[in-house]
Amino acid sequence: MLQTQISDLSALGESVKLLLNTFPEDRVFAFYGAMGAGKTTFIKALCRELGSTDNVTSPTFALINEYTTSSGSVIYHFDFYRIKKMEEAFDLGYEDYIYSGNYCFIEWPEMIEPLLPEGIIEVRIREGKKGIRLVEAKKV
């Protein structure tokens, strides 16, 4: 289990590296947190750390964005906030992405929780006092 605090944006990179180093073999990360907790900001930093120079934005309406790293790897970024039925995830072909072996970062995973495979990394981001972000991650 990983627990870290992010006091400001300058500390974000260190937390991102810590997450990747704690779970080096894992590729599917589910991000839980209230609206505005910092899920997308954290995922942007993860993509930068993994070598992507793409413009990382929340795929709220598209449901999925694809980013490429400098080494040619692919990162998938999901946002299931607006999903109404789990069938929409099937229509998207989510299994092809989740089981691709590429990094998958999922915002609002609670909307498709029954579809998530075992062994993913659950990342919970909470806002603490004075804007500090509390990050906890564990394999589930």
Domain extent listing, the chain:
2-139
Which residue has tokens 């795929």?
59
Which CATH fold topology does 2-139 show? Rossmann fold (3.40.50)
Cβ atoms within 10 Å, residue 81: 16
Determine the pLDDT at residue 41: 95
Q: Chain-wide mean pLDDT for the chain? A: 94
pLDDT tens-digit series, residues 27-62 = 999 999 999 999 999 999 999 999 999 999 988 778
Distance of alpha carbon 67 from alpha carbon 18, whole angstroms: 21
Q: What is the pTM of this model?
A: 0.95
Task: Determine phi and psi for 23, rounding to 5 degrees.
Answer: -125, 65
User: In the predicted model, is pLDDT for residue 118 greater than 90?
Assistant: yes
Q: What is the pLDDT of residues 90-112, one digit of tens each?
A: 888 999 999 999 999 999 999 99
**For residues 105 and 77, is the Cβ–Cβ distance under 8 A?**
yes
